[in-house]
Structures are given as structure tokens and as C-alpha cells.
Structure 1
Amino acid sequence: MTTLALITAAGWLRRGAAGQLQRRQIERLLGQTTSPEVAAELWKQRESLLEEGRFPGRELAVTILFADIVGFSQVAEGFQPAETLQWVNVGMEKFVQVIHNNGGMVNKFTGDGFLAVFGVPLAQNPTLTANQALDSAAALQRTLLELNQQLLAENRPAMKLRVGLHSGEVITGSMGSSDRMEYAVIGDVVNVSSRLESLNKERQVNLCRVLLSKETLNLLTNPEQWQFNCWGSFPLKGREQSVEVYELTGINN
């Protein structure tokens, strides 16, 4: 009986050690970029997702949300670097929470912006992810109104955003070396969302301008609940095919 107990205990220890290793691998690969709900689901599916401590390349249907702070250079010029970082972080903390609350993952920070992905690292319904992304964009618009009230009370500059949304297929997986590795999202969808964010920068009349492609619009469950302004078809830098662009202007009651 003693021997059996020792063998059982040793098995538990081995499984516990393996589980801890897998948890560290997931944390190293994704960091704090996922919501608690996604992290919990990742943990459930860890055996099928990890290969030799990496996420293997997978093709997934996603919606990308690319956001950038407007006028960052002017603010940075008038602030000390520490003040600039503090100002940005006040906004980023709220923006990241919006993404997490709507089921997305902040994949990358770009200094004065961020790249969020809906539909990774677990495969999801493309319609769901498009709706989540647009819900996030609308929530960012509302969040900026509240944030700027806070910034104004603290005698700090107001913050504005530009947001681009596009849907399609990407390749996801671990990229890098054993010393530095990150969860990469690669494909034309990422490039298009970035180009939409920076398209015709002078055409911004609100705190948070949201542009989306027709591909994303076509995936929405109830597009009639939203108000859109069709900008028309635009060629985007680095692409031969034009993109039909819409601006989110409101929501119908």
C-alpha cells in the first residue's frame, strides 16, 4: 500500500510539473494580452494547442482592429518623456479593457497605438468576431468621452483615436527565437486595417473615427442597428485591389 501511494504521489507530481510548464509556456507566448475568459479556454485546450512549447502556424478567420492616437507627436514635443508615457498609459489601460471586455486580444502595442485581434488564438465564428470588433470600436468612442473629461480635470491634453477594422484570414503562431518569442498575426488583413486607420487623416470630425471595410460590414449580424457613411472605394498603399470603406457614425435606437 505504501509503494502504491508513493507511485500515485509521484504521478501527481509529474502531472503537476508538466501543467506548470505548459502554463509558463502559454504565459510566455501570450503574456497578458488575453482576457481571463480566453486564458481559461486556452488552458483547457493546451494539449492540442502547444507543440514543443510553441503555438504552431494556424490559419484563422479574424477581424483586426488597428488604433492610433491622433497628434501624439505634438503632445510628446510639449511633454517630458515620463509625462508622455503616463498620458498614453492612462488611455491604454482603458482601451485594453474595452478590447478584453468584448472578447478580443491586444496583440501588439505600437508606441502610440495598438493592434487588437478578434478570433485568436482559438478559432471562432467570423460573424461573432466582426460584431465583437465593431462593438469594441463603438465602446472606444464612448470611452474617449469619459477619458477626456478626466484628462481635462487633470489639466492634460485631450486624446483622440483613429480606428481601422478589416476581416479575413491570417496566419497565426509563435514567431521568434528561444530568447524572445511573440504570438504573431500575419496577413493582408492586418495591413488593410492599418491602412484604413491612416486613410485620409484630415477627414476626422470626432474624437474617435472608425473606418471599416465592406468585408467586415458584410459579416455584421444586424448592420441596420448601426449608422454608416459610405466613403466609396479606395486604393490602399501596397495593394492592387481597392477596398470599399465605411465610417461608423452612430447607432440606431
Structure 2
Amino acid sequence: MGELIGMGLTDYYCTRVRFSGGRWCVLTIATDQSDGFDDTEITCFDGLLDHIGVVLELHVTKRIEHSLLDTYLGERTGARVMHGHIRRGDGETIRAALWFSDVRDFTVLTETLSVEQLLDSLNVYFETVERAVRAHGGEILRFVGDAMLIVFAQENDQTAETVCENALRAAKAALADLAKVNKDRSKGGLPSLRFGVGLHYGEVVYGNVGGTHRLDFTVMGVAVNRTARLESLTKQIGTPLLMSDVLASHISEPTVCCGDFAVKGVAEPLTVHALESALPFAPASEAKD
């Protein structure tokens, strides 16, 4: 109440409004009129409650729907579902910077932490990455256990350089933020959280796939597989962040070529780059295919 007074408000009307199914919602109305609400206005409010309830329930329901879809599907995907793109096979071809990341030594974590500690650790990791990704225009498309598939979709007014730079900035921010988190975890006797991330840029199919009764929005294509394979090389090369030569060509930060690597499911060897600032690690001449 003190906060309302500080805002210059003089009176406060509070009541409950009935929703369908026997549910109730709290309705509050405040005024800055010098004399507050008079009896006529309060009587008017009371008489309008049934009508207000109908309109208010529609707004509350829509807000809940948006919140649920954004939380469980992502902002871009949730919006597509809200607009009726729910038919199996609906899809489009988009260009995007792609991110695939995976927690390091996850098996060790599962064996050394309690269930509660493991879930808390994963949530800390996911939250740290999510914060960096959202700040740079990305969308978490899928959690696969402790792995994450993220897209930085190239909108009509964006260039390849824009989304690739955004993906790189997000990855660097997430790695830096997690390093800070690990300092606090160390003080509490908890193991550090580390992850590897692969970045690529390419064309993917973004669409609705699944069975008759269970659908999922996802991205598919060669570019997705290459992104995942890039991440798998981070252990071998010894640096947490790797990218394709395609993405490296669209960023301004200097990179170093780590070599060409034959990976599962990709016909031709991947030319892999890392940030020059990440040196030292195994140079291209020492990297093993």
C-alpha cells in the first residue's frame, strides 16, 4: 500500500471475479483522484463484475497460453503454434546460425551428485546458457538430455554476418558466465560445470514433424548434423568452442584452422576453426582425424 501511495494513488478497490469452472481471480483498481472512489463508482464496479470477468478471463487465458508456449517451445516456435501452424508436415526452409552444446563429464556428475544436486546443476547450466542466448537473439529449440540445440534464425532484414556474430557472442558470454558460476560452486564443494559448443551456419528445414498424436517443431538437415559433429570434436581438439569454416567466414574475430576432420554421418571432412584468442591448444598439425 505504501508503494501505491508513493505513486500518488489515493484509493484502492479490490474484489474477486468469478471465472468459468468455479475459479476466482483477484481484480484491483486504483485511482489518483483526490477524493478517491465515491459510492457511485464502487456500485458501478460491483455491477460490472460479471461482464469484466468474461473479458478478463479471455485475456488471462491468452496470457497463460503465450507463457506456456514460450516456455516449452520457445518464442518463435510458440508464436507459430499460436498462429495455427500445427499441421504435421508444415515447414519452411530457413537460413540460420546453429548451436549444439553438450555438458562435459555428465556421467561423472550423475555418479557423484545426488538427484537434487544434479537437477540443480543442470538448471544452473541451462539458465546460464539461456540468458546469453536470449540476449543475442537466439532460441533454444530443444533439450536433448544435457545437450542443447539452438537456432539464431536469419530474419529478412538480417545478414549472415549478423546471426553468426550473435551466435558467437552468445557462446562466449555463456562460457564466461559459467566460469563465474563455477567459482561459487567451488566454494560450496560442488564440481565445475563445463560444456562444449559447435557453431555452424547453413540452410535447414524448420517444421512440424511427428506422429498422429504427438508433434514437435524442430530443424532438420545436413547443417544440423554438422553442428553436432563440430561439438563432438571439442574434446579431441581441446577447446570448448569450435565452428565451421562457413561460420568463421562470417565473423570478424580472428580464427585459427584446426584442420580437416572426418566425422560420422558427414560425407566430406569438416574444416574446423577455433578462436585465435583461445590458443594455446592442439594446433592443426597435431590434431588427429
- State the TM bucket, normalised to the shorter chain: 0.7 to 0.9
What is the match of residue 125 of structure 2?
91
Distance change >3 Å, CA 21–CA 158, structure 1 → 2:
closer
Read off the aligned partner of 1:103 and give its amino acid letter. Answer: G
Match of 1:230 among 257, 269, 277: 257
Percent identity of paired positions between Structure 1 and Structure 2 = 25
1:246 maps onto 2:273 in alignment: yes
Deviation at 1:117, TM superposition (A): 0.6
Counterparts of 1:52 and 1:198 in 2: how far apart (Å)? 33
Counterparts of 2:273 and 2:243 in 1: how far apart (Å)? 5
Counterparts of 1:166 and 1:85 in 2: how far apart (Å)? 29
Q: Please list every run of 5 or more consecutive structure 2 residues that lacks an aligned counterpart in the other structure.
A: 1-53, 279-289
What is the match of residue 148 of structure 2?
114
Larger Rg: 2
Q: Which has the higher contact order (CA 8 A, sep 6+)?
A: 1
Match of 2:242 among 211, 216, 238: 211
Read off the aligned partner of 2:265 and give its amino acid letter. Answer: G
1:72 maps onto 2:97 in alignment: no
TM-score by length of 1: 0.75
What is the match of residue 4 of structure 1?
none
Query: Are 1:119 and 1:125, in contact at CA under 8 Å, matched by a contact in 2?
Result: no
Read off the aligned partner of 1:211 and give its amino acid letter. Answer: L
1:158 maps onto 2:192 in alignment: yes
Read off the aligned partner of 2:261 and give its amino acid letter. Answer: F
Listed one character per residue, the Cα deviations across residues 2-57 of structure 1 (whole Å, up to 9, x for unaligned) are xxxxxxxxxxx99x97xx77994x7676544535xx68xx86x989x644667921
Match of 1:135 among 169, 180, 195: 169
What is the match of residue 145 of structure 1?
179
Distance change >3 Å, CA 113–CA 51, structure 1 → 2:
closer
Query: Are 2:234 and 2:241, in contact at CA under 8 Å, matched by a contact in 1?
Result: no
Query: Are 1:65 and 1:115, in contact at CA under 8 Å, matched by a contact in 2?
Result: yes
Distance change >3 Å, CA 57–CA 28, structure 1 → 2:
farther
Give the root-mean-square deviation of aligned CA atoms: 3.3
Counterparts of 2:219 and 2:67 in 1: how far apart (Å)? 17
Match of 2:214 among 176, 180, 203: 180
Counterparts of 2:120 and 2:81 in 1: how far apart (Å)? 36
Distance change >3 Å, CA 178–CA 22, structure 1 → 2:
farther
3-state secondary structure, aligned to 1:250: helix
Distance change >3 Å, CA 21–CA 242, structure 1 → 2:
same
3-state secondary structure, aligned to 1:167: strand
What is the match of residue 58 of structure 1?
92
Deviation at 1:64, TM superposition (A): 0.7
Counterparts of 2:191 and 2:69 in 1: how far apart (Å)? 35
Q: Please list every run of 5 or more consecutive structure 1 residues that lacks an aligned counterpart in the other structure.
A: 1-12
Match of 1:34 among 74, 81, 84: 74
Counterparts of 1:200 and 1:65 in 2: how far apart (Å)? 13
